[in-house]
Structure 1
Amino acid sequence: MRLGALVALLWLLTASGAPPAVAATSPAWGVVDSTCAPDRLARRVPGVDVAVVEAHWDRLEPVAGVVDTAYAAGLRDTVTRCLDAGVRVVLGSGLQYPPAWVRALPGAALRDQARRSPTNGAVDTVFSGAVAVAGDAYLRRLMTVVPAARLVGVRVGTSTAGELGYPGPEASGAAFDSWWAFGDAPQRGVGLAPGQSVSPLPGWVPGQPTWQGRAVSVEAARAWFRWYSGAVVRAVADRAAALRAAGYRGPVHVPAAGRGVLPADLEAAVQVRLATAVRDGALRRGLDYVGGFPALASAVPGAVVDITGIDDATAVRARGLNPPADRCTSGDAAALLRGSAALDTWPNQRVTAAAAHRAGLALVGENPGPPAPQTGGTDRSDSERDQLRRAPGYARACGLAAFLFAFEDDLYTTRSGLTPGDYAAVVGG
């Protein structure tokens, strides 16, 4: 096991006393978007002792370099209440909520190949040096606000959802259309973030057969995509380094949506110089989990992959096949490397878990939440009640160290019809 995976598992194992063989099949239990409210802590389900608490950059630092002391005190109190109640806390870094002043920084605007900027407020968290400097300074402040030494994880992503990757099709209104590496920083090196590099084919747009009067080779297209997808991993590594510099020593959780581009699909795409799209827009999002997770493991010791869609719509579809293809198996990592034709029938969770296991990365995961696009679910997802019933079994089969139910509000309010007792039945089953 790689050091990063071992470190990530220790906080679970030391608290439970369970040996590693048990941890692979018996995940820790938690909730997403926890308020750590006293009344909820009083009704906490025994055994559900991990909480994801989300920070917000725009609330902590609404003015550059100025901390909102009231928000900081409230966040500290929230985290401390959970910790003092015996609940382990994973802190969402909140980098996906940049303040208005960050959006106004030079070079902060993302640009696609048509020079469009996102319509959803996304900034260039990957290539912009100004955004990187501001983000690192924010993380250093954040680690002074919360009891960082007591945290068992900090989430770091690059997208507006707080996940790994570039914005998806929702950012430009054109399905699977935008490649987000056409600002001055990635193309000309102007204001480029430390640790990043300029495009290996400046000015080239995927799909174009030529560059500077010469034919674009398959290898050149492959190298361009490696640069593009590798940049999001480097951005996460740089934010993780800022956390380490601030004194945080625990695991860094990297939320991962979808399944990434499959090796066979990536090869087919480079053969046509990337003039194609793949499921979920993974190509343009820069999501290459098979190729990128080993780099993540090397660059971010203590990295943990957080699968954000356990029992999503792809699992529902795979479950309906004959035979079903929804559950992880011990041979999945080998099948992933072989490029088995069966991979296309696998759900997102199975592909992502296989890629993480192959890279020696620890895993946690959460269900997508209510079947609505704004939560991560779709109209083809299981109901939230069925997610709570099925997702823990998937978590066990895929070797997750923790299952985090999304969302806490759906257990303690009437909006879903679920109650803490429903979760208790899962934990005790």
Structure 2
Amino acid sequence: MHRTRRRIPHPLLGVLAVGVTGTLVAGAVTSGADAKGRGYAIGQGVSTSLPSPRAASTTAAPARPTTATSPTATATSPTATSPTATPSASAAAASTPSATATAAATVGKPFLGTLVTHSGTAGQESQAGLKMAMLEVSWRSLLPRQGQVDSGYATGLVKQLKAFQAAGMRVTLGLGLHYTPAWVLALAGSRLVDQTGTVSAQADLVFNQTVRDLAVDYLRALDKIVPFENFWAVRVTSGSGAEMLYPASGTYWAYSAGAQNGPTRPVTMAANPLPGWRPGDSASEAQRRAWADWYLAALDDVADWQMDVATSLGFTGYFQIVTPGQGLRPTQYTKLVAAGLSNGLLGRGAVWSVVYAGLRHRTHVTAYVSSVADGSAGNDVCQASDATVALDSGTAYYFSATRYLARVAAVNGFTVAGETPGYPASASGRAAYADASDSGLLATAYRQASGCRFLGLYWAHDDQVWDGTVPLSRLAQYSSTSAALPALAS
């Protein structure tokens, strides 16, 4: 991803998410860590035991190879300041434009930006045509104690925002709710609980109104420091992680007091239709479906809550719903419900066709692919004929994550954008990440972004631009010195 101090996520799926090594099948999750200790969930649809939507037989879908690397974020906080980087010789060196770079204008021209952008080098990036910066904030760094703002951290945020604006850039805001203060986590009942009684390391913003209220205090404090009206987009997650997912175990995280219809259940959330029920207990298929739909709708509720708060604070830009991979397809979801809700991707909430359809907010919503060029389906590109493809069809089953989520966006009338996987742990993954050819990560990701009509693509991360791994000169091939600012939401 980026440097040690700040992390953003990026898994994939053919059954969800991609990573450096390992597999995730329907009903099992493998996890690990990348070279810098960042955790990730790993998965691939090729190993699912679910039947292919193409046929009524019970055979598994044909295998699809993947080479993607996609680590998720750790809980380390971003710092408030972004030191000026001295471009290395390799960062300054020019490289030969790829075929994708020279052809991009004929397909479409998504903006190019970076994740966790260094404010000290924002001017150089803007001059090279990168007109989008990303500022990620940390709840625990801004409010290390309840009601007490860290003035030094706040000052750093203001300096960063001003630097980006002075450089002539739009700015995307990462809310940093998953960087939860210790004093919040110490509160009784403040964490998610799964069906085994395991308590999460993360705070429960999904089912706990008390925790949400504390988060609102944080967001209001943040708005006073860097007003929300300054931002082009806001990243929306589950609040317990850096993407729209439940924790990585693949179990079902709906057993806290609020999730069981206790007094902390958010006022906007529908009641649990089967309180006390656990996967494996007796229930009809219709009851299981109602419960699973409610579990997914809980992610919609926490997303809509964040959008409500941001709107109340004067934000008028895009809401980026951060979703990795292909997730479970409609047919797979139906079969998992029929089979009794085993642990796996459904426990993580990764049924994007259902999640996006269930959002109450329908304006300025962006389906945000946090795993562009993750290796799924050979990194295929959207086609004009996709407009007639149903999400539950056998054709859509074999779309890459980027192509599938672009189709989900189109069905819902949403825009689409995304980011590349971060810097991987394996030597082969790093070689692909740094590959300057037309088959390298940057060229492949921009080809998908252009073909799927993204608003923009974020490179993960700015650290790797300024340490020379993927120099600014290479990113600049996909923009121009005369690049316009990304258009405001309208």
Checking the alignment, whether the CA contact within 8 Å between 1:54 and 1:93 is kept in structure 2 is yes
Checking the alignment, whether the CA contact within 8 Å between 1:252 and 1:304 is kept in structure 2 is yes
- Residue 273 of structure 1 is matched in structure 2 by 340
Deviations 1:229-282 (A, max 9, x none): 01111111112111122222222222111222101101111111223x5xxx43
- Residue 348 of structure 1 is matched in structure 2 by 401
- Residue 14 of structure 1 is matched in structure 2 by none
- Residue 406 of structure 1 is matched in structure 2 by 460
- Compared CA separation, residues 101 and 134, structure 1 to 2 (3 A): same
Structure 1 CA distance for aligned equivalents of residues 395 and 326 of structure 2: 14
- Residue 396 of structure 1 is matched in structure 2 by 450
Structure 1 CA distance for aligned equivalents of residues 229 and 314 of structure 2: 8
How far has the Cα of 1:45 moved from its partner?
A: 4.8
Unaligned ranges ≥5, structure 2? 1-104, 482-490
Structure 1 CA distance for aligned equivalents of residues 442 and 272 of structure 2: 44
- Residue 28 of structure 1 is matched in structure 2 by 111
How far has the Cα of 1:220 moved from its partner?
A: 1.1
Deviations 1:306-334 (A, max 9, x none): 211110132xxx22xxxxx7111233353
- Residue 425 of structure 2 is matched in structure 1 by 372
- Residue 12 of structure 1 is matched in structure 2 by none
Correspondence for 1:332 among 386, 391, 395: 386
Structure 2 CA distance for aligned equivalents of residues 56 and 333 of structure 1: 39
- Residue 146 of structure 1 is matched in structure 2 by 226
Structure 2 CA distance for aligned equivalents of residues 348 and 254 of structure 1: 15
Correspondence for 1:193 among 266, 270, 278: 266
- Compared CA separation, residues 381 and 242, structure 1 to 2 (3 A): farther
Kindly indicate whether residue 416 of structure 2 is the aligned counterpart of residue 363 of structure 1: yes
Structure 1 CA distance for aligned equivalents of residues 125 and 259 of structure 2: 50
- Residue 128 of structure 2 is matched in structure 1 by 46
- Residue 241 of structure 1 is matched in structure 2 by 308
How far has the Cα of 1:197 moved from its partner?
A: 3.0
- Residue 136 of structure 1 is matched in structure 2 by 216
Correspondence for 2:364 among 290, 302, 312: 302
SS at match of 2:477: helix
How far has the Cα of 1:30 moved from its partner?
A: 0.9
Could you say which structure has the higher helix fraction?
1
Structure 2 CA distance for aligned equivalents of residues 45 and 391 of structure 1: 22
Kindly indicate whether residue 291 of structure 2 is the aligned counterpart of residue 219 of structure 1: no
- Compared CA separation, residues 153 and 194, structure 1 to 2 (3 A): same
SS at match of 2:134: strand
Correspondence for 1:262 among 319, 329, 333: 329
- Residue 138 of structure 2 is matched in structure 1 by 56
How far has the Cα of 1:159 moved from its partner?
A: 4.8
- Residue 293 of structure 1 is matched in structure 2 by 356
- Compared CA separation, residues 352 and 96, structure 1 to 2 (3 A): same
Correspondence for 1:126 among 194, 201, 206: 206
How far has the Cα of 1:422 moved from its partner?
A: 0.9
Structure 1 CA distance for aligned equivalents of residues 276 and 319 of structure 2: 34
* Number of equivalences: 373
Checking the alignment, whether the CA contact within 8 Å between 2:122 and 2:163 is kept in structure 1 is no
How far has the Cα of 1:156 moved from its partner?
A: 2.0
1:73-92 pair list within 5 angstroms: 73-92=155-174
Q: Taking structure 2 as the reference length, what is the TM-score of the superposition?
A: 0.72
Q: Which moved more, 1:69-78 or 1:281-290?
A: 281-290
- Compared CA separation, residues 43 and 87, structure 1 to 2 (3 A): closer
How far has the Cα of 1:47 moved from its partner?
A: 1.9
SS at match of 1:365: strand
Structure 1 CA distance for aligned equivalents of residues 332 and 464 of structure 2: 37
Deviations 1:346-386 (A, max 9, x none): 2211211111111011111110121239xxx9959942432
- Residue 346 of structure 2 is matched in structure 1 by 283
Letter in 2 for 1:334: T
- Compared CA separation, residues 149 and 367, structure 1 to 2 (3 A): same
Checking the alignment, whether the CA contact within 8 Å between 1:53 and 1:90 is kept in structure 2 is yes
Checking the alignment, whether the CA contact within 8 Å between 1:51 and 1:90 is kept in structure 2 is yes
How far has the Cα of 1:112 moved from its partner?
A: 0.3
Q: Using the aligned pairs only, state the percent identity.
A: 28
Checking the alignment, whether the CA contact within 8 Å between 2:119 and 2:163 is kept in structure 1 is yes
- Residue 6 of structure 1 is matched in structure 2 by none
- Residue 317 of structure 2 is matched in structure 1 by 250
- Residue 47 of structure 2 is matched in structure 1 by none
Kindly indicate whether residue 178 of structure 2 is the aligned counterpart of residue 111 of structure 1: no
Letter in 1 for 2:231: L
Checking the alignment, whether the CA contact within 8 Å between 1:32 and 1:405 is kept in structure 2 is yes
Structure 2 CA distance for aligned equivalents of residues 182 and 160 of structure 1: 15
- Compared CA separation, residues 380 and 284, structure 1 to 2 (3 A): farther
